[in-house]
Amino acid sequence: MKGKFFLYVLVTLLVIWAMDSVNINQIFKKNKILQARVFYFLLGIALIYLITNFLTDIFTSLKIS
């Protein structure tokens, strides 16, 4: 359980760092700031969840953890 928590923290930092490089201003309509922020937040949460579970499944199947 401690390993999965550490993995969540590590992946969260990685996703925040990676998403910082994306210019989302050109994707969304003008004056839709709140909706763009909510979408960006949900996209980040989804990426964190998917990447962490993917890595956990790989470590479990390879008996690394």
Note whether 52 and 16 are within 8 A (CB).
no
Handedness of CA 10, 16, 18, 19 (dihedral sign): positive
Joined tokens for residue 49: 């969840």
Say whether pLDDT at 39 is over 70.
yes
Where along the chain do its domains lie?
2-61
Torsion of CA 48, 40, 20, 28, to 10 degrees: 150
- Candidates 51, 57, 58; CA nearest to 19 is 51
**Residue 7 binned pLDDT confidence (cut-offs 50, 70, 90):** very high
Note whether 10 and 62 are within 8 A (CB).
no
Determine the pLDDT at residue 64: 66
* Model pTM score: 0.82
Joined tokens for residue 21: 């490089």
